[in-house]
């Protein structure tokens, strides 16, 4: 049995994993077997650039080479505007291993036989039935300007294409991630464009101090309200926001601002659309998917990939490379990893089975090995790449290197944290919060595996749920967010706790930070995409940046706080400087104190008590000053703390630290102290 070369490093991190050495080595052996199969197919370099062969590729002489894999098909023909939808004029030739080829010569004058912008489809015949399908490798898919809801492949071959002008930025040591959806990023009720996002929203993100953007809903999805997670066309950028060149402009603009840009990639499942999706591409239920019940996700109503198929691996690995090479993305957030790595897809799983659960029969070797291959390829090919896993079960070694027996991700989402905050806000009075329990949730993560902390998820913004701001302030946000209106107890509490919740999550919850678009200023209401149930309205499918731009509204206070939090992290780098040391958790006082990255964080969650001369233990002696104070007027606070105050340590141990300081910490306030020098 093949053993990962550095497996002992993994066992030194987590000794409990030694009992499962056999299963870890078995998975690694399967991984090695697939690498060998890929080498037999010409090697990883050729294997991951299949988009240069498959689909439709214009050659230097303006001829077009077409290649498809459709093993169950009996006949393929290319039809479209260019040949008056004639099914007999451009018929594919059957090749070996289920492949089909077609060469379309250039016109006599040397021009391309298919004009740019032509609509195309592939006529696929299976068992006597012909269906009009879209190539799995289609790079531009659009909805015709008619009442038709079925998308067409549009031949994208402009005379001039966008050329990147700016160098990629270096991978940040600390990821401060702004999660964004281009379509909803305008205050207007419309689908926003890639170029408008680049020109109007990216500068906002940059000013707020974020160094990374994570883009949702870029891979083409016919159903807008799927939030981008029912992907129909894997190599096509969503055309409702613009052309492929417009997306390149966006990525280039991000790079010009020094912003790293990640793609929300969906390789966990695919839309079950037949006419404009990957489903039943060759007329069968299988092809890229499992052809039996294993190929269907009962909860998501979607199709599931067969990761044992070499052509599925070619398709997915080439898809990752396509987004990096063609569009310049710097990394990926892999969606639905928990669904991938368990045969149950995590449906109704409590994940309370301990280590045997992670290495038992419910674990899906095929998906785990695919993720290992993907991460191995990406990190060897692109040294600056970042991969993040959306994974909730806590699978050990997911974010450890392949050579240790892990899956090779750089980060995983700390998904328990948003659930904790919503549970508290929904079910507990402020005075009943268990401070120790909150801290435990924030710190409870796998040792030596980096996590992305976030206080609220994009799912919570959707209709049927609420953001933290809306849970805190609800309908009073409609009437009392003007600075000229009374500061009601609900608004006062909401603004104060919004700041504390976000910073304690930022400071304790992980090694990276993520914010969903609009939450930085407490965006009101919910997110609801146009659909039949709301009369196709865009009213709630937008982000009202006009609210934060209005100086007379209190949203500016939360926005200011968000910007200063990011500035504090940029100054200190606390996210990448190791774990925090929590020295104080007091249930009655509702006070938490911890040190991280040379900073001292002191939180008072008490709803009514302020504390003068509150003693806090610190490790490093000397003089401290206030680096951040949530009670400042610029953050909607009450200015109860003098920011010019200097704090001097006493050489007396306290709370397990070698020194102590005393501070005035008002109710619902956080102070962050740094050394004066």
Among all residues, which ones are annotated catalytic?
335, 390
Do 393 and 351 meet the contact criterion of CB atoms below 8 Å apart? yes
Handedness of CA 319, 320, 322, 328 (dihedral sign): positive
CA–CA dist 348, 504 (Å, integer): 30
Do 282 and 134 meet the contact criterion of CB atoms below 8 Å apart? no
Handedness of CA 481, 485, 487, 488 (dihedral sign): negative
Handedness of CA 46, 47, 48, 51 (dihedral sign): positive
The SS3 assignment for 458 reads: helix
Determine the distance from the C-alpha atom of residue 325 to the mean position of all C-alpha atoms in its chain, rounded to a whole number: 19
CA–CA dist 311, 318 (Å, integer): 10
Do 500 and 561 meet the contact criterion of CB atoms below 8 Å apart? no
Do 162 and 252 meet the contact criterion of CB atoms below 8 Å apart? yes
Query: Treating both helix axes as pointing N-terminal to C-terminal, what angle do 416-427 and 489-508 enclose, rounded to 10 degrees?
Result: 160
The SS3 assignment for 83 reads: helix
CA–CA dist 469, 466 (Å, integer): 8
- Distances in Å between the alpha carbon of 243 and those of 137, 142, 503, 552? 16, 10, 38, 38
Residue that has been written with the tokens 């790449």 in this structure: 385
CA–CA dist 334, 263 (Å, integer): 8
Nearest to 626 by CA among 570, 670, 562: 670
CA–CA dist 189, 349 (Å, integer): 39
CA–CA dist 288, 132 (Å, integer): 18
Nearest to 627 by CA among 556, 677, 557, 554: 677
CA–CA dist 208, 202 (Å, integer): 10
Residue that has been written with the tokens 């409870």 in this structure: 444
CA–CA dist 82, 140 (Å, integer): 17
């Amino acid at each position: 049995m093949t053993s990962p070369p550095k497996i002992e490093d993994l066992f030194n991190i987590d000794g409990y994993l030694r009992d499962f050495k056999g299963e870890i080595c078995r998975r690694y052996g399967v991984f090695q077997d697939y690498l060998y199969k890929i080498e037999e197919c010409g090697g990883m370099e050729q294997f991951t650039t299949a988009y240069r062969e498959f689909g439709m590729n214009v050659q230097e002489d303006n001829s077009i080479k077409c290649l498809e894999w459709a093993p169950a098909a009996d006949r393929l023909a290319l039809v479209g505007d260019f040949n008056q939808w004639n099914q007999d004029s451009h018929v594919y030739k059957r090749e070996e291993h289920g492949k089909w080829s077609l060469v379309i010569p250039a016109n006599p004058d040397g021009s391309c036989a298919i004009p740019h912008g032509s609509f195309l489809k592939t006529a696929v015949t299976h068992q006597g039935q012909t269906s009009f399908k879209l190539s799995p490798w289609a790079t531009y898919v659009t909805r015709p300007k008619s009442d038709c809801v079925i998308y067409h492949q549009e031949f994208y071959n402009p005379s001039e294409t966008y050329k990147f002008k700016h160098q990629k930025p270096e991978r940040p040591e600390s990821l401060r991630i702004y999660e964004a959806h281009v379509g909803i990023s305008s205050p207007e009720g419309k689908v926003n464009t890639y170029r408008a996002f680049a020109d109007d929203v990216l500068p906002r993100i940059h000013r707020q101090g974020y160094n990374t953007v994570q883009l949702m809903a870029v891979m083409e999805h016919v159903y807008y309200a799927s939030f981008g997670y029912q992907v129909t066309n894997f190599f096509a950028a969503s055309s409702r926001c613009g052309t492929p060149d417009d997306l390149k402009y966006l990525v280039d603009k991000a790079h010009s601002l020094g912003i790293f840009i990640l793609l929300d990639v969906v390789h966990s499942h695919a839309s079950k659309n037949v006419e404009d999706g990957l489903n039943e591409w060759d007329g069968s239920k299988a092809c890229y998917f499992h052809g039996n019940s294993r190929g269907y996700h009962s909860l998501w109503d979607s199709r599931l990939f067969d990761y044992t198929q070499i052509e599925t691996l070619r398709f997915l690995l080439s898809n990752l490379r396509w987004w990096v090479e063609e569009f310049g993305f710097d990394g990926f957030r892999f969606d639905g990893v928990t669904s991938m790595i368990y045969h149950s897809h995590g449906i109704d799983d409590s994940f309370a089975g301990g280590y045997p659960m992670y290495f038992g029969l419910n674990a899906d070797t095929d998906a785990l090995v695919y993720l290992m291959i993907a991460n191995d390829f990406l990190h060897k090919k692109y040294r600056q790449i970042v991969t993040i896993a959306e994974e909730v079960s806590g699978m050990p070694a997911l974010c450890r290197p392949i050579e240790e027996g892990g899956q090779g991700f750089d980060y995983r989402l700390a998904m328990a944290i948003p659930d904790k905050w919503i549970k508290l806000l929904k079910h507990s009075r402020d005075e009943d919060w268990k401070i120790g329990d909150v801290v435990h949730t924030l710190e409870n993560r796998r040792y030596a595996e980096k996590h992305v902390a976030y206080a609220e998820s994009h799912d919570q913004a959707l209709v049927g749920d609420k953001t933290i701001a809306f849970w805190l302030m609800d309908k009073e946000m409609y009437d009392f967010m003007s600075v000229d209106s009374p500061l009601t107890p609900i608004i006062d509490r909401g603004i104060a706790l919004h700041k504390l919740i976000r910073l304690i999550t930022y400071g304790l919850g992980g090694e990276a930070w993520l914010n969903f678009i609009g939450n930085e200023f407490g965006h009101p209401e919910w997110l609801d995409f146009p659909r039949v149930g709301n009369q196709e309205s865009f009213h709630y499918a937008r982000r009202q940046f006009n609210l934060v731009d209005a100086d007379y509204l209190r949203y500016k206070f939360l926005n200011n706080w968000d910007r200063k939090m990011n500035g504090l992290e940029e100054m200190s780098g606390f996210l990448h400087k190791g774990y925090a040391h929590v020295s104080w958790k007091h249930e009655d006082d509702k006070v938490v104190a911890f040190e991280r990255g040379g900073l001292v964080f002191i939180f008072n969650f008490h709803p009514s008590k302020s504390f003068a001369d509150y003693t806090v233990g610190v490790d490093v002696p000397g003089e401290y000053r206030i680096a951040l104070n949530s009670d400042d007027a610029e953050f909607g606070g009450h200015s109860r703390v003098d920011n010019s105050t200097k704090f001097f340590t006493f050489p007396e141990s306290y709370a397990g630290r070698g020194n102590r300081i005393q501070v005035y910490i008002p109710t619902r306030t956080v102070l962050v102290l740094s050394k004066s020098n």
